[in-house]
Amino acid sequence: MTFNSLTFFVFATVVFAAYWAVRSRRTQNMLLLVVSYVFYGWWDWRFCGLIAASSAVDFGVGLWLSRTQDEQPGPRRQRHRRTALALSIATNLGLLGVFKYYNFFADNLVLGAASLGVSLSPSTLQLVLPVGISFYTFQTLGTTIDVYRGRLGACRSLVDYFAYVSFFPQLVAGPIERGARLLPQFQRDRRFDAGLAADGLCQALWGFVQKAALADNLATLVNDYYIPTSPGPVLAVCTVAFAFQIYWDFAGYSNIAIGTARLFGFSLSRNFALPYFSRSVAEFWRRWHISLSTWFRDYVYVPLGGNKRGRARQAINILLTFVISGLWHGAAWHFVAWGAINGLAAMPTIVSGRSRAQPVDTPGGEGSSPGLRGALQMLATFSIVCVGWVFFRATSVEAALQILTRIVTECGDIAAWSSLAAHEQYLRAIMPLAVLGVMAEWLQRRHPHVLVLDAWPRWSRWALYTMLFWGAMYVLPETPPEFIYFQF
């Protein structure tokens, strides 16, 4: 059941009606818990056992940590707290290790041993990667760490905690919420707010347009021709196409998730803040997948030492954090290479402290245009990010290097650009949509989403909403692909 399906539309409508038909907060939370497990079990009912296990362990660990507050300070108390935290870390990273990384490490162990002349034959596991496991394990683990650090009190309601972990709008691909931000929303009464719901519908509509009209149509070109044997100019165009495909795909998911949550009275964190208008790679990562970037900052980069141990150590910490982030995205070396490329590109700006841009800042500045210098900085940043996307999209490091080689060696040949003629009809159809999408985001970049149009007359707003919805339905591919981040 995906956000861009009729099934989800019916599901959300029925849940919305039932949810607001009851007034008790506890009943609402119980309803959200049940429907969220139905939503997750729609892919495979066995997945529900994994999220229940992760939730149960971290709920219990939170209570354990809470009880240790009453113990006398000393080595025994600290030992109990560390044991509790270790149980949470072992459970969550153990689930990820088995389902996502076991075969990767087993295969590389065999290759490493073979290089030393030792023959190994460990068995691999034929396991289906549970949808969303990378997201909810990080969410529960982060919550437990915050309880351990004393930044958050333990949740004492099993229903509230399980509903918080499994909340269906953000369960499968985030945003990865912090307990201090989302848990209190489950613990207080909620009343229907027509204005909040209307804004949520607008944001969800824009997310649907991003996914159906923009990302899914770009996917047709990328999936068919983004292979190492394609001509260099085609690969260059496909690289740019993929950059916008993955952005509109994931930003579209996030907008639908945030908008849907508002229908139920919840406020989720902003996950994208127009990253392609960034003027440095460091700024890009403050605007791209914000909930994950800040998670790695707070729970990996800072514990490694952050910037407290000198610039050399800070540079190593930055690179390690990005490499681990790359491995989080996928159990393959080309994801590790993608993380390393972005880490090396972001490192100079972060270490020097030149860029302090935050997601709340207006991307590109307050002017109507970024100016020549700003435009060049955006173009340079986008180009570096695209080099990274080659490794992200490729099937291996070798394939990525082949693609980059063909782009560099063949794009300088004017005659080689004639290879795009075979795709001219398609490019004429999709490129105007892509340009309009970029222009709309630039003009509305001061707002959390494009469809904040309070100054427009009501009739014109509704005319635009209707046009966008049916226009997206018209260009929607016959078999819409799943959201890209479902595989992580």
DSSP annotation string for 283-335: HHHHHSSHHHHHHHIIIIIHHHTTTSS-HHHHHHHHHHHHHHHHHHH-SSHHH
Kindly state whether residue 103 falls inside one of the protein's structural domains.
yes
The last residue of a domain, from among 165, 191, 217? 191
Confirm if 289 and 325 have CB atoms less than 8 A apart.
Answer: no
Distance CA(45)–CA(39), nearest Å, equals: 10
Kindly state whether residue 290 falls inside one of the protein's structural domains.
no
What is the pLDDT confidence band of residue 139, given thresholds at 50, 70 and 90?
Answer: very high
Using alpha carbons only, give the angle 57, 58, 63 rounded to the nearest 5 degrees: 100
Confirm if 259 and 201 have CB atoms less than 8 A apart.
Answer: yes
Q: Which residues lie closer than 8 Å to 272 by C-beta, 6 or more apart?
A: 247, 250, 251, 254, 255, 287, 288, 289, 290
What is the pLDDT confidence band of residue 160, given thresholds at 50, 70 and 90?
Answer: very high
Distance CA(300)–CA(313), nearest Å, equals: 14
pLDDT at position 124 over 70: no
What is the pLDDT confidence band of residue 157, given thresholds at 50, 70 and 90?
Answer: very high
Q: By C-alpha distance, which of 450, 90, 410, 357 is closest to 232?
A: 410
Q: Are residues 221 and 157 in the same domain?
A: no
pLDDT at position 113 over 80: no
Handedness of CA 396, 238, 487, 316 (dihedral sign): positive
Distance CA(487)–CA(330), nearest Å, equals: 8
Q: Are residues 89 and 105 in the same domain?
A: yes
Q: Are residues 206 and 265 in the same domain?
A: yes
Distance CA(475)–CA(488), nearest Å, equals: 27
Q: Are residues 127 and 220 in the same domain?
A: no
Kindly state whether residue 474 falls inside one of the protein's structural domains.
yes
DSSP code at position 157:
-
What is the pLDDT confidence band of residue 488, given thresholds at 50, 70 and 90?
Answer: confident
The last residue of a domain, from among 157, 191, 225? 191
pLDDT at position 123 over 80: no
Q: Are residues 15 and 106 in the same domain?
A: yes
Using alpha carbons only, give the angle 219, 225, 226 rounded to the nearest 5 degrees: 80
Kindly state whether residue 383 falls inside one of the protein's structural domains.
yes
Q: Are residues 67 and 210 in the same domain?
A: no
Q: Are residues 388 and 465 in the same domain?
A: yes
pLDDT above 90: percentage of residues in the chain = 55
Tokens of 47: 């997945």
Tokens of 102: 């076991």
Distance CA(186)–CA(265), nearest Å, equals: 10
Distance CA(24)–CA(2), nearest Å, equals: 29
The residue-averaged pLDDT of 12-24 equals: 93
pLDDT at position 411 over 90: no
How would you class 366 by CB atoms within 10 Å of its CB: exposed for 0-12, middle for 13-18, buried for 19 or more? Answer: exposed
Kindly state whether residue 299 falls inside one of the protein's structural domains.
no
For residues 122 and 65, the model is more confident at 65
pLDDT tens figures, 172-210: 887 999 999 999 999 999 999 999 999 999 999 999 999
Q: What is the pLDDT of residue 421?
A: 77
Give me the numbers of helices (H) and strands (E) for the chain, helices first please: 21, 0
Find the length of the chain.
488
Q: Are residues 99 and 154 in the same domain?
A: yes
pLDDT tens figures, 269-320: 999 999 999 999 999 999 999 999 999 999 999 999 888 888 889 999 999 9
The last residue of a domain, from among 191, 215, 235? 191
pLDDT at position 77 over 90: no
Give the chain's domain count: 2
Tokens of 462: 């509704």
Domain that holds residue 21: 6-191
The radius of gyration of the chain from alpha carbons, rounded to an integer in Å, stands at 23
Q: By C-alpha distance, which of 252, 233, 195, 239 is closest to 468?
A: 252
- Give SS3 for 271: coil
What is the pLDDT confidence band of residue 110, given thresholds at 50, 70 and 90?
Answer: low
Distance CA(361)–CA(366), nearest Å, equals: 9
Kindly state whether residue 315 falls inside one of the protein's structural domains.
no
The residue-averaged pLDDT of 135-156 equals: 92
Buried b (16+ CB within 10 A) or exposed e, 95-126: bbeebbebbbeeeeebeeeeeeeeeeeeeeee
Handedness of CA 167, 171, 175, 178 (dihedral sign): positive
pLDDT at position 166 over 90: yes
pLDDT at position 223 over 90: no
Q: Are residues 218 and 254 in the same domain?
A: yes
Catalytic residue ranges:
329
Kindly state whether residue 201 falls inside one of the protein's structural domains.
yes
Tokens of 155: 């949740």
Q: Are residues 249 and 361 in the same domain?
A: yes
Q: Are residues 170 and 209 in the same domain?
A: no
Kindly state whether residue 64 falls inside one of the protein's structural domains.
yes
Q: Are residues 202 and 65 in the same domain?
A: no
Q: Which residues lie closer than 8 Å to 377 by C-beta, 6 or more apart?
A: 279, 280
